Amino acid sequence: MSTENQIAANRANAQNSTGPTTAEGKARVAKNGLSHGLNSNPETLFAAKPEEAEAFRALSQKLRKDCVPESDLEESAFQRYAWSSFQIIRARRWEELAEDRWLANPDDAKSFSHLERTLKMAAALERRADKSMHELRQLQKDRIAAYEVYAEHCVMGKEVHIPKSLPTAELRRTDLARTSPNYLAQFLLYQTKEVKDTAKQMLKDAKSKANAPAPSTEENPFASLSIEELLRIARQTGLDK
């Protein structure tokens, strides 16, 4: 168990080991242990390698022209795709360097291990980029499919919010007979408070009518007659024709 003197000494020593406090010192520390930065986030990488920030910005602008994300969900998927694509380019450069080092000394196990790790990281980045692009494409397909549903709402004179996360394209593809734009528009319309309140009132009225007492024979003289008698009266009065 630590004594009071040891605790006091530890506290005093801690004051001398808090790390850098200036912006310049923190920037230097950010570079510690950063070799390739293929597993780092933009903030960490750009703090250690400011020159990479401009390269990423230029690539991101080019990709944005092709992808044209609109909603926040699309923007999030695009950012992941742009960052992964940028890291793939950097990984390919590190692959070339690692391969050159290994070819210069094929018996060096460390050089071979470095090359192997670099290849694995590049492959992982490619999978991330593919996954992000797939997500972005799906979101954009849903957005385009939702335009038709929105047009149906406009025809109805209704303003209904269509969630950006609704898999509209998948719903249309699954069963076009039941998921036409008009069908989906009506389905979404049924989710609005206005329609739900109307449906509740209709159900309430139906229950009240069902629970209402049956009309008396004085109000309805035919209430006590059998089916045969009612048919006979219908034939006599010509109602069956």
Asked whether residue 101 is assigned to any structural domain, the reply reads: yes
Q: What is the dihedral of CA 92, 93, 99, 102, to 10 degrees?
A: -140
The parts of the chain modelled with pLDDT lower than 50 are 25-34
Asked whether residue 132 is assigned to any structural domain, the reply reads: yes
Asked whether residue 167 is assigned to any structural domain, the reply reads: yes
Domain that holds residue 39: 34-201
Asked whether residue 189 is assigned to any structural domain, the reply reads: yes
Contact predicate 77/69, CB 8 Å = yes
pLDDT value of position 200: 63
Dihedral sign for Cα 90, 92, 93, 94, please. Answer: positive
How far apart CA 66 and CA 71 sit, in angstroms, is 15
What's the pLDDT tens digit per position in 145-191? 887 777 777 777 777 777 777 777 777 776 655 566 776 676 666 56
pLDDT value of position 137: 93
pLDDT value of position 69: 93
Asked whether residue 210 is assigned to any structural domain, the reply reads: no
Q: What is the dihedral of CA 71, 72, 74, 79, to 10 degrees?
A: 140
| Residues 6+ positions from 182 with CB-CB distance below 8 Å | 152
Number of compact structural domains in the chain: 1
| Residues 6+ positions from 8 with CB-CB distance below 8 Å | none
Asked whether residue 94 is assigned to any structural domain, the reply reads: yes
pLDDT value of position 57: 92
pLDDT value of position 11: 65
Asked whether residue 2 is assigned to any structural domain, the reply reads: no
Q: Give the predicted TM-score (pTM) of the model.
A: 0.56
Asked whether residue 127 is assigned to any structural domain, the reply reads: yes
